[in-house]
Amino acid sequence: MLAYLFYIVAAITVTTAVYLIFEKNPVFGALYLIQTMVSLAVLYILLEAQFVAAVQIIVYAGAIMVLFLFVIMLLNLDIGEETKNALPYQRIPAILMGIALFTIICIVIRSKLLQGKQDQYTTAFVQGVGNTKLIGNLLFTEYLLPFEITSILLFVAAIGAIMLAKRKL
Amino acid sequence: MITITHYLVLSAILFTVGVIGVLIRRNAIIIFMCIELMLNAVNLSFVACAHYLNSMQGQLFVFFTMTVAAAEAAVGLAIIVAVFRNKETINIDDINIMKW
Amino acid sequence: MLNLVALILLFPLIGTVINGLAGKRLRKETVGYLACGAIGLSFLVSFMVFIGLLQLPPDERLFEKHLFRWIESGSFISAAALQVDPLSVVMILVITGVGFLIHLYSIGYMHHDKGYHRYFCYLNLFVFSMLLLVLSNNFLLMFIGWEAVGLCSYLLIGFWFEKKSASDAAKKAFVVNRVGDFGFALGIMLIFLTFHSIDFTEVFSAVSHGNFEKGSFTVTMITLLLFIGATGKSAQIPLYTWLPDAMEGPTPVSALIHAATMVTAGVYMIARCNALYLLSPFTMTVVASIGVITALFAASVGLVQNDIKRVLAYSTISQLGYMFLACGVGAFTAGVFHLMTHAFFKALLFLASGSVIHALSGEQDIRKMGGLKPHIPVTYKTFLIGTVAIAGIPPFAGFFSKDEILLEALVRGNFIYWSLGAFAALLTAFYMFRLLFMTFHGECRVDHHAMEHLHESPKNMTLPLVALAGLSFVGGFFGIPGANALEHFLAPVLGGHGHTEVRGAVSAGHHGAWLPYLMMVISTAIALVGIFLAYQMYIKKPGLSKKLAERFRLIHKLLLNKYYVDEIYDAIFINPTKKISTQVLWKVIDVRMIDGSVNGIAWLVGRIGSVLRHLQTGYIRNYAFYIVVGCILIIVLAVFGR
């Protein structure tokens, strides 16, 4: 049952992603991307990562994509915007390169190069404590410093965005 | 039975699609969205690895990746707005003064 | 009191810094008295250090003052540390004492010069460097002082650098000294290689413990290399040519640097390294031979020179030759003794000649002087004392030291050393009195213009003259035979035991006790003969010298042109060097090869760039494509490349 769910959701994810890169209208592109992200959230749930799935929907599909849509509408672009194509000859090599990249990544996945150490957080253990509670505990104890640094990062990014987008300071 | 390889291959597909998008599209906003797609593909592999290794670190890393993505989106979109204000276009082939 | 030794260095340094940085804005009086005060304080401290040293028992008269760790690299350690022992104390007393008098004199002499503060800045710097040279406790720090006095000498010879001859002379002095310094530096390196240390105490104790047999090749090489340095700094054959030209500098500079102190650095160094030199009989022979040949050679050139300062310059070279002769036969005490007395009377002679030049508004040619005695009486009297002292008439200073050197040359050396030295002494007496007679006696040949301004120098110039005249008079009594205070004082450093052996041999053995007294009589007689000849030629029969010159025209011309040594050096070393530099090094190597390769590389890079810049399209997608290709390659390498 869950295997079927995975295949269905994976197919939706890939399809919307491919639609995204061939879509002329950026608004539709954004919508396809939102669909991709929601499908990814479903996959996260399949992987027992409920908190990440929720954040995926709230932050990515919600906040970030709304920002994208907001900018698209702010700029009010025509649909046939991409008039000038300076590198028409790059299209085929680019796709070939993409395929090459995929091949090589698959080779890496199959070659036993990727190996990890088993940790203590088994599914039963996580379900006993609760996924969100565990992440919260870790964030505010072991990973407190990086967590606080992300706040500085976001603060700086906000200032930078305002600096760049404002007409006159 | 769904193994970690399934997830990793899916992640690779999404990543490759994002790369191809970056390489063939000219609309700066779409390129941006492709980059977000690549970030998401990596996030998927993080979560998958975390799940199959019984670890929490992958999930926490996703958390930080999202923060970076948010910051990047804010700054990047601000740059696009600023560029559009100066050049009346977001076609990156029109923005080609980064050369000799 | 010995702890104060660092202050001796500090005062001149302070004077240099203040005069160098702020001298332009200070009043002239302030500059002069500041510089003098610095050296005066230095002298006082030196005297206190001397007293402090005297209070120690003779065998323990060695004090080392560690200032700071300087260079440490692997097994190479060089500290900035000072060493006080009888030898360095004698040197610092002479340097600061004579230096102080010359500073005082300079206040009057340089009063009208526009580079007044610059002059005193250099002069203080010189005293500082010289003190560093004699106070250092290792070879490297000594080398720093050694180089620094060379630098000051360069700056002061070229003090009036607007004059081409002065700047040329400065350059010459610098380059010739460089040749010697090269040898000195090589010597230091060899010392480190051999002894694994450059501290005086460690090196000399290693030597005295008998780790090296007498005449060992390494020690001979070390001493020869060090001696090359000494010939450069102390103006011995073959590197003496810079000293006569150095007279282009202001006269007090000639007195201080090129007569009294700096040129004696070589003698000091050899005396300091006596333990090494005594191990190498070959080097000792070389030193003695060079010394005696230089003494004779320079004296013969001095016979016919007409520039008052040039005569004194050649006499300086000649006297330095005596000191090397003394060192070469192993009589280091006699060498240092002569160094000291020479500092007194040569400084006196130079300052007095400066006073003459000052009185005559810059005239230096003795053919245009004469009959100055009644006009500048103080200068005359002091000059006379200096001349008598250098000629070697008892009881003046030069007599005792020169007599001791000649005696040692005979007893420890051989008859040839003695006879050549004695002949040089005869020439010395002759040319010095010729100088005296032509300057102060006979008819007046001064031109009218200069005659009007003829005046005795001011008090602050004559005062140092009188003081130095007093020292020239009494200086010899420090080393009077029989009660040789200097020798006893220096014995811990210079090994007076060898000396007493000689004395013992003299009094007991084959020569007999009468030898020293006979020698005194002989050297006095030699000096008197020289004076008599000069008197005959320049007072009684003024035409005689001209007749002699015509009779021996070839020799006269040879002497007048200083044996054509400068010309020979020009032909052998300088012109070929210039030619090679111009024709090969400049026009082929520099222009064709170095410039050519540099320009060629730049041209090549430009061409490649103009082709490759087409890769830089400016399209971001293009760059992104390259990045992806690069990533793929890197992954391929990481996966398959192991």
Q: Which of A3, A60, A98 sits opposite B16 (nearest CB)?
A: A98
Q: Is residue C634 within 8 angstroms of chain A, CB to CB?
A: no
DSSP helix/strand/coil, C446: coil
Would C192 be classed as within a structural domain? Answer: no
Distance from the first to the final alpha carbon of chain A? 58
Let me know the angle formed at the C-alpha of C512 by C506 and C513, rounded to the nearest 5 degrees: 75
Distance in angstroms (rounded) separating the CA atoms of residues C492 and A32: 101
For C641, counting Cβ atoms within 10 Å of its Cβ (0-12 exposed, 13-18 middle, 19+ buried), the class is: exposed
Tens of pLDDT along A101-121?
A: 999 999 888 887 777 788 888
Q: Which residue of A has its CA nearest to C634?
A: A104
For residue B23, list chain C residues with Cβ-Cβ distance below 8 A.
621, 624-625, 628
For residue B99, list chain C residues with Cβ-Cβ distance below 8 A.
613, 616-618
What amino acid occupies position C495?
G
Q: Identify whether residues C369 and C459 lie together within a single domain.
A: yes
For residue A55, list chain B residues with Cβ-Cβ distance below 8 A.
62-63, 66
Q: Identify whether residues C253 and C354 lie together within a single domain.
A: no
> C66: part of which helix (H) or strand (E)?
strand C63-73
Would C173 be classed as within a structural domain? Answer: no
Question: C73: Cβ–Cβ under 8 A, 6 or more apart, which residues?
Answer: none
Would C180 be classed as within a structural domain? Answer: no
Nearest CA to CA, how far is C606 from chain B (Å)?
13
Would C210 be classed as within a structural domain? Answer: no
Would C185 be classed as within a structural domain? Answer: no
Q: Which residue of B has its CA nearest to A139?
A: B60
Chains that touch C (3 or more CB pairs under 8 A): A, B
Would C597 be classed as within a structural domain? Answer: yes
Q: Is residue B37 within 8 angstroms of chain A, CB to CB?
A: yes
Q: Is residue B42 within 8 angstroms of chain A, CB to CB?
A: no
Whether the per-residue pLDDT at C124 is higher than 90: the answer is: yes
Q: Residue C497: its pLDDT value, please?
A: 44
For residue C613, list chain B residues with Cβ-Cβ distance below 8 A.
99-100
Q: Identify whether residues C365 and C498 lie together within a single domain.
A: yes
For residue A106, list chain C residues with Cβ-Cβ distance below 8 A.
none
Largest CA distance in chain B: 55
Interface test with A, best of B77, B89, B98 (most A CBs within 10 A): B77
Nearest CA to CA, how far is C625 from chain A (Å)?
7
Q: Residue C505: its pLDDT value, please?
A: 46
**How remote is the C-alpha of C224 from its chain's centroid?**
18
Distance in angstroms (rounded) separating the CA atoms of residues B73 and A100: 28
Q: Is residue C510 within 8 angstroms of chain B, CB to CB?
A: no
Distance in angstroms (rounded) separating the CA atoms of residues C73 and A53: 63
Q: Where are the alpha helices (DSSP H) in chain A?
A: 2-22, 26-46, 50-55, 65-75, 91-110, 123-129, 131-140, 144-165
Tens of pLDDT along C371-402?
A: 888 888 889 999 999 999 998 888 888 888 88
Highest mean pLDDT out of C164-178, C504-518, C610-624: C164-178
Of all residues in chain C, the percent with pLDDT exceeding 70 is: 96
Would C197 be classed as within a structural domain? Answer: no
Q: Identify whether residues C305 and C265 lie together within a single domain.
A: no
Read off the pLDDT band of C566 (50, 70, 90): confident
Least confident among A75-79, A158-162, C8-12: A75-79
Inter-chain residue contact C621 with A87, CB threshold 8 Å:
yes
Q: Identify whether residues C258 and C356 lie together within a single domain.
A: no
Q: Identify whether residues C625 and C521 lie together within a single domain.
A: no
Q: Is residue A107 within 8 angstroms of chain C, CB to CB?
A: yes
DSSP per-residue letters across C172-229: HHHHHHHHHHHHHHHHHHHHHHHHS--BHHHHHHHHHTT-S-TT-HHHHHHHHHHHHH
Per-residue model confidence as pLDDT tens for chain B (100 residues): 888 899 999 999 999 999 999 998 888 899 999 999 999 999 999 999 999 999 888 999 999 999 999 999 999 999 998 888 888 888 888 887 777 5
The number of distinct structural domains making up chain C is: 3
Inter-chain residue contact B25 with A44, CB threshold 8 Å:
no
Interface test with A, best of C621, C622, C632, C637 (most A CBs within 10 A): C632
Give strand pairing partners of C199.
Answer: C138
Q: Is residue A122 within 8 angstroms of chain C, CB to CB?
A: no
Read off the pLDDT band of C642 (50, 70, 90): low
Q: Identify whether residues C447 and C591 lie together within a single domain.
A: no
Q: Where are the alpha helices (DSSP H) in C25-163?
A: 28-54, 86-109, 116-135, 139-157
ipTM confidence score:
0.91
What amino acid occupies position C23?
G
DSSP per-residue letters across C483-522: S-HHHHHHHHHHTHHHHHHHHHHHHHSSS-TTHHHHHHHH
Q: Which of C622, C625, C636 sits opposite A104 (nearest CB)?
A: C636
Inter-chain residue contact B14 with A14, CB threshold 8 Å:
yes
Q: Which residue of B has its CA nearest to A165?
A: B78
Q: Identify whether residues C128 and C261 lie together within a single domain.
A: yes
State the CB neighbour count (10 A cutoff) for residue C383. Answer: 27
Q: Which of B22, B24, B96 sits opposite C619 (nearest CB)?
A: B96
Residue whose C-alpha is closest to residue C94's, from C391, C493, C481, C472: C472
Inter-chain residue contact B15 with A146, CB threshold 8 Å:
no
Would C362 be classed as within a structural domain? Answer: yes
Tens of pLDDT along C264-294?
A: 899 999 999 988 888 888 999 999 999 999 9
* Residue that is last in its domain, among C526, C552, C578: C552
Inter-chain residue contact B22 with C624, CB threshold 8 Å:
yes
Q: Which domain holds residue C125?
A: 1-167+244-272
For residue C626, list chain A residues with Cβ-Cβ distance below 8 A.
none
Q: Is residue B61 within 8 angstroms of chain A, CB to CB?
A: no
DSSP helix/strand/coil, C331: coil
For residue B97, list chain C residues with Cβ-Cβ distance below 8 A.
618
Q: Identify whether residues C494 and C601 lie together within a single domain.
A: no
Q: What is the mean pLDDT of residues C310-322?
A: 92
DSSP per-residue letters across A112-131: TT------S--HHHHHHH-H
Q: Is residue C635 within 8 angstroms of chain A, CB to CB?
A: yes
Interface test with B, best of A5, A21, A82, A143 (most B CBs within 10 A): A21
Whether the per-residue pLDDT at C240 is higher than 60: the answer is: yes
Q: In order of start, what are the domains of chain B with their CATH numbers? A: 4-87 (1.10.287.3510)
Q: Which residue of C has its CA nearest to B31?
A: C621
Query: Phi/psi of residue C410, each to 5°?
Result: -75, -45
Q: Is residue C615 within 8 angstroms of chain A, CB to CB?
A: no
Q: What is the mean pLDDT of residues C600-615?
A: 90
Question: C399: Cβ–Cβ under 8 A, 6 or more apart, which residues?
Answer: C389, C392, C393, C476, C523, C524, C527
Q: Which of B19, B26, B99 sits opposite C616 (nearest CB)?
A: B99
As given in the structure block, the two tokens for residue C504 are: 């013992």
Q: Which of C616, C618, C624 sits opposite B23 (nearest CB)?
A: C624
Q: Identify whether residues C313 and C258 lie together within a single domain.
A: no
Q: What is the mean pLDDT of residues C327-336?
A: 89
Q: Identify whether residues C417 and C268 lie together within a single domain.
A: no
Q: Residue A79: its pLDDT value, please?
A: 61
Least confident among A29-38, A50-59, B42-51, C110-119: C110-119
- The answer to whether C359 touches C455, Cβ cutoff 8 Å, is yes
Give strand pairing partners of C64.
Answer: C83
Whether the per-residue pLDDT at C438 is higher than 80: the answer is: yes
Inter-chain residue contact C618 with B99, CB threshold 8 Å:
yes
Q: Identify whether residues C479 and C351 lie together within a single domain.
A: yes
Tens of pLDDT along C161-217?
A: 998 999 999 999 999 999 999 999 999 999 999 888 888 888 888 888 877 778 788
Q: Is residue C618 within 8 angstroms of chain B, CB to CB?
A: yes
- Mean of per-residue pLDDT scores for chain C: 87
For residue C628, list chain A residues with Cβ-Cβ distance below 8 A.
94, 97-98, 101
Q: Which residue of C has its CA nearest to A87?
A: C622
Query: Phi/psi of residue C236, each to 5°?
Result: -105, 160
For residue A116, list chain B residues with Cβ-Cβ distance below 8 A.
49, 53, 55
